[in-house]
Structure 1
Amino acid sequence: MFRFESGHRLPSLPVEHKCSRQHGHSYEVEVALTAFSLEAPGFVTDFAALAPFGEFLRTQLDHNNLHEIFPFEPTSELLAQFLAGWFIENLEPVIHGQLVAVNVRETGRSWARFDVEGQ
Structure 2
Amino acid sequence: MFRITKEFHFSASHQLTSLPPDHQCARLHGHNYIVVVELSGGELDEHGFVRDYQDLAAFKHYIDGTFDHRHLNDVLGHDHATAECLARHFYDWCKVRLPETSAVRVSETPKTWAEYRP
The answer to whether TM tops 0.5 is yes
* CA displacement 1:61-118 (0-9 Å, x = unmatched): 00000011112311000110011111112x22xxxx61111000001011100003xx
Match in the other structure for 2:94: 87
Match in the other structure for 1:105: 107
Give SS of 1:31's match.
strand
Q: For 2:38 and 2:116, locate their aligned partners in 1 and report how far apart those are by CA, in whole Å.
A: 10
2:24 pairs with 1:35: no
Match in the other structure for 2:8: 2
Match in the other structure for 1:26: 32
Which stretches in structure 1 are left out of the alignment for 5+ residues? none
- Please report the RMSD computed on the Cα atoms of aligned residues, expressed in angstroms: 1.1
Give SS of 1:106's match.
strand
Q: Identify which range, 63-72 or 73-82, moves more after superposition.
A: 63-72
Q: For 2:81 and 2:105, locate their aligned partners in 1 and report how far apart those are by CA, in whole Å.
A: 14
**TM-score, L = length of structure 2:** 0.89
Identity %, equivalent residues: 36
- Give the Å deviation of 1:13: 0.4
User: Aligned partner of 1:103: which letter?
Assistant: R
2:48 pairs with 1:46: no
User: Aligned partner of 2:77: which letter?
Assistant: P
Aligned residue runs from structure 1 range 57-72, under 5 A: 57-72=63-78
Larger strand share, 1 or 2: 2
Q: For 1:13 and 1:52, locate their aligned partners in 2 and report how far apart those are by CA, in whole Å.
A: 34
Aligned residues: 111
Which stretches in structure 2 are left out of the alignment for 5+ residues? 1-6
Give SS of 1:19's match.
helix
* CA displacement 1:30-62 (0-9 Å, x = unmatched): 011111211233211110000000110000000
